[in-house]
Structure 1
Amino acid sequence: MSCAYLAFTARGEALARRLAEALPGSVSRCGGEVTLKGWTAEHFAQNEALIFVGAVGIAVRAVAPYCKSKASDPAVVAVDEGGQFAVPLLSGHLGGANALARALAEVCGAVPVITTATDVNGLFAVDLWAKAQGCALLEPERIKRVSGALLAGQTVRYWSAWPVAGEAPAGVERAGTPEAADFALTLTPEGGALHLVPPIGVLGVGCRRGTTAERLEEAFSAFCASSGLSPAAVSAAASIDLKKEEPGLAQFCEAHGWPITFYSADQLRAVPGQFTPSAFVAGVTGVDNVCERAAAKASGGALLLPKTAGGGVTLALAVRPFAPDWRTEQ
């Protein structure tokens, strides 16, 4: 977690530096060129956690203009300069502020002041579970519906495309169908549940020479629309080494933040499994299928969505092995 500390007095700066020795991050002190507004704007945009060593009210006023969503805001914690209390203010679960407050408190002997309702009542927190399982939360506004039901003493139902190891938490039961679920672990979200998507997909890509990033984006959108796949399920791409110098492919993957792996024709031919053959592709590349074989090899798992083709682009999806459990801490 990339941390940034801001202090306001000499005593606060000394504590910030002590905390940063245990939980590394930059340390600044307000004054001169370092302004509260400027420091907050800069670090809210670039750091995963902001720690204000000073009054809670100062921290609240500083971050208020920049708060957007619990799905994207960084963790914000205030620690008084006497080191007595560590108070998570923003992104307690998804951003990790609660866990950070506990870690900071341990360093300086403070009391972590945790106010999140599910934590206070010892209940299952679906957003914390999503984070622990490495999943994207597609509809963060629906978290409160799940948590609210548990806080009201109601049972919530989940559905998962994979077996979930361990015993389900109190108040959580498996739904018979995805439609009956309050939250669902899936790659293909539908309905009104809160959807948790594990980023385990590898997109296999084949394309004509000179294919633009825009054309690849159109093909990917159509691929997701036809299959129901959430784009959040994809975390990497793969292709044949003949495509290493394709600028459109590089730009397409960079726009999504996906690393791309390239394989030789010999490597792709050696991938075990049943794949959709093409004599034309074999004549051009030396292997009968690029997208399916590349996806399968890069994922180390199973082919989920077979080749679709159109406009000079072929796409397929394979998924890495995934074994969720009921842990809510990483």
Structure 2
Amino acid sequence: MVRAALISLTEKGKELSLRIAQTADFISTERFCLRSHSDFGSRCFEDTAGLISHIFHRYDALVFVCACGIAVRSIAPHIQSKTSDPAVIVIDEGGSFVIPVLSGHLGGANALALRLGSLLGAQAVITTATDIGGHFSPDSFAAANGLIITDMYAAKEIAAAVLDGEKTGIVSEYGYVGLHRDISEDKDCRTGLYIGSKDIKPFPVTLRLLPKNIVLGIGCKRGIECETIEKAVVSALKKAHIPIECVIAAATADIKANEQGLLSFCKKYGLKLHTYTAQELMEVKGSFTVSDFVRAVTGADNICERSAVKCSGGELILRKIAADGVTVAAAEKPLILDFERKIL
């Protein structure tokens, strides 16, 4: 769920931020109110610039209830890139207009503004050209489908091309539905999307989008350090030509649920750790690398491969690799791309 900071400066702004916090069940909110206009459920601040300096990269979205100029001046020193900046939205204290001002596509500000506008009965003011004309946006498509943009220049070229009425092509290693009218399956297009992990360029201007659908299966000795696990994982993924950015989760046996090195590794890379009993792992169908020793210790004949497949619901793309007391495998979660999918 999107984590949003609600920032208000006035009494009316405080009341509107409270209304949003109480009714917007599609976001997780934390309220920040100027000390002179705060309440029991909010966190107080004295200086807007100081507050934003502290929280800018700690939330997925910043929602200001104030004048647009105040918000823009406070975020200006912290803006870095559309691939890393949070969504920033401004709402007037009367609740009439909801304006996305930063990270409209990749950060989801446009989609969030539309949801907040609907909630408040306010007008969402969307200014991005692709949205105004109902055109395909590579940024929005990537964000909604959990894809990594590898080349922002190519993304801009495609966005400009579709605005000029030019079709953009597609080559995908995955199935898709709801193909946008701006996208053509014709391979002769000048610009195009390639969705997959191969290092290829089917079009003169190719935007390669990497899916985030890889699940790591990890087994390890007791007491092993985070650095050792990280080294083994990075090495295994490199051999399989899998970018670590494509990993969405890790899995292992339940007896490793409190292994501190493994937990630290998952925290470092923002991965949720899924654990399974030996019985659950042994019920997974497929061909796996069998170890009688592992079976004797854990009750399952393989931890890394079985847990990766169990968690992903897909197929192995990297079989067991062992190094320094760590075993690593990877499976690919099934993926269907949807051109009509929205971020929220």
Question: Normalising TM by the smaller chain, what interval?
Answer: 0.7 to 0.9
Q: Aligned residue for 2:194?
A: 184
1:302 aligns with 2:315: yes
Amino acid at match of 2:183: V
The equivalent of 1:158 in structure 2 is: 170
1:5 aligns with 6
The one of 74, 78, 88 equivalent to 2:86 is: 74
Q: Give per-residue Cα distances to partners, 1:142-161, cap 9 Å, x unaligned.
A: 42122122123222222221
Q: Distance in 2 between matches of 1:125 and 1:247?
A: 42
Sort the Cα spacing of 1:224 and 1:66 in 2 relative to 1 into closer, same or farther, 3 A.
Answer: same
Are positions 1:29 and 2:40 aligned together?
no
The Cα offsets for residues 46-68 of structure 1, whole Å up to 9 and x where unpaired, read as 33222223322221111011112
Q: Distance in 2 between matches of 1:312 and 1:175?
A: 49
Residue pair 1:139, 1:194 contacting (<8 A) in 2 also: yes
Name which of 264, 269, 272 aligns with 1:256: 269
SS at match of 2:237: helix
Alpha carbons of 1:250 and 1:9: their partners in 2 closer, same or farther (altered >3 Å)? closer
Query: Is the aligned partner of 1:55 residue 2:60?
Result: no
Looking at structure 1, the residues matched to 19 and 324 of structure 2 have their Cα atoms a distance apart, in angstroms, of 59
Q: Tell me, in whole angstroms, the C-alpha distance in 1 between the residues paired with 2:295 and 2:21.
A: 57
Letter in 2 for 1:56: C
Q: Which ranges in structure 1 are unaligned for 5 or more consecutive residues?
A: none
Contact 1:75 1:90 in 2 (8 A): yes
Contact kept, 8 Å, 1:88 with 1:113, in 2: the verdict is: yes
CA, structure 1 residues 6+277, in 2 after alignment: closer, same or farther (shift >3 Å)? Answer: closer
- Of 236, 243, 251 in structure 2, the residue corresponding to residue 238 of structure 1 is 251
Q: What is the deviation of 1:181?
A: 7.1
- 2:40 paired residue number: none
Deviations 1:154-201 (A, max 9, x none): 2222222111123x2122123759xx9733322x25256434333322
Q: In the TM superposition, what is the alpha-carbon distance from 1:262 to its structure 2 partner? A: 3.2
Aligned to 1:272: 285
Q: CA deviation at 1:247?
A: 2.8
CA contact (8 A) 2:111 2:342 kept: no
- 2:303 aligned with 1:290, yes or no? yes
Letter in 2 for 1:208: K
Give the Cα separation in 2 of the matches to 1:25 and 1:78. Answer: 16
Alignment of 1:84-99 (within 5 A): 84-99=96-111
What letter matches 1:235 in structure 2?
A: I
Tell me the secondary structure at the aligned position of residue 38 of structure 1.
helix
Q: Secondary structure, in 3 states, of the residue corresponding to 1:40?
A: helix
- Alpha-carbon distance in 2 for matches of 1:255, 1:226: 21
3-state SS of 2:56 partner: helix
Residue 73 of structure 2 aligns to a residue in which SS? helix
Q: Which residue of 1 aligns with 2:39?
A: none
Amino acid of the structure 1 residue aligned with 2:72: V
Q: 1:211 to 1:18 in 2, by over 3 A?
A: closer
Question: Is contact 2:88-2:101 (8 Å) kept?
Answer: yes
Query: Partners in 1 of 2:80 and 2:105 — Cα distance?
Result: 15
Matches within 5 A, 1:141-152: 142-152=154-164
Separation in 1 of the partners of 2:75 and 2:134? 28
Q: Contact (CA 8 Å) 1:30, 1:36: kept in 2 or not?
A: no
Count matched residues. Answer: 326
Pairing 1:127–2:128 present: no
Query: Does the CA contact (< 8 Å) of 2:48 and 2:74 recur in 1?
Result: yes
Q: CA deviation at 1:33?
A: 4.6
Measure, in 1, the Cα distance between the counterparts of 2:276 and 2:318.
20
- The answer on 1:172 being equivalent to 2:183 is yes
Q: 1:189 to 1:39 in 2, by over 3 A?
A: farther
TM-score when scaled to structure 2?
Answer: 0.82
State the one-letter code of the partner of 1:184.
Y
Distance (whole Å) between structure 2 residues aligned to residue 162 and residue 302 of structure 1: 14
| Runs of 5+ consecutive residues of structure 2 not aligned to the other structure | 37-43
RMSD: 2.9
Question: Matches of 1:126 and 1:176 in 2, distance apart?
Answer: 18
**Which residue of structure 1 aligns with residue 211 of structure 2?**
198
Q: CA deviation at 1:30?
A: 6.6
Deviation at 1:304, TM superposition (A): 2.1
**Identity across matched positions, percent:** 39
- The Cα of 1:116 is off from its aligned counterpart by 0.6
